[in-house]
Amino acid sequence: MESVVDAILDHVDRESRVAVVRLEIGELAGVDIAALRFCFDVCTQATAIAGAELDIVRIDARARCRACHAEHHVGSLATACPCGSYDRELIAGTELRLKELEVI
């Protein structure tokens, strides 16, 4: 979370206040959203981000099956392809990205 705060502060000048912080977080990024929100509030205190809304955009996890080559949704890392194979490559869902800010 400190890296989020540092990255944001790199993008705002002293006169600005951040109203919204928008993060993209993949379904399988390994991030506990409740813990993230708690840390956000703690880490942003007394900074230009204090009081900002944390808007989290979830990204569905998708994999490409190496057996049948189809793409499918993976709700967990133990989800098999509908064809039954567990041999797949994750193509989305592990994002942990600071997308944008709304600044006033």
Distance between CA atoms of residues 90 and 55, nearest Å: 25
Distance between CA atoms of residues 87 and 6, nearest Å: 38
DSSP for 91-102 reads: EES--EEEEEEE
Q: Closer to other proteins at the Cβ: 34 or 76?
A: 76
Least distance from other proteins to the Cβ atom of residue 71, Å: 17
Q: Closer to other proteins at the Cβ: 51 or 82?
A: 51
Residues that bind other proteins (CB under 8 A): 3-4, 7-8, 11-12, 16-17, 19-20, 23, 28, 30, 51-53, 66, 76-78, 80, 85-88, 90, 95-104
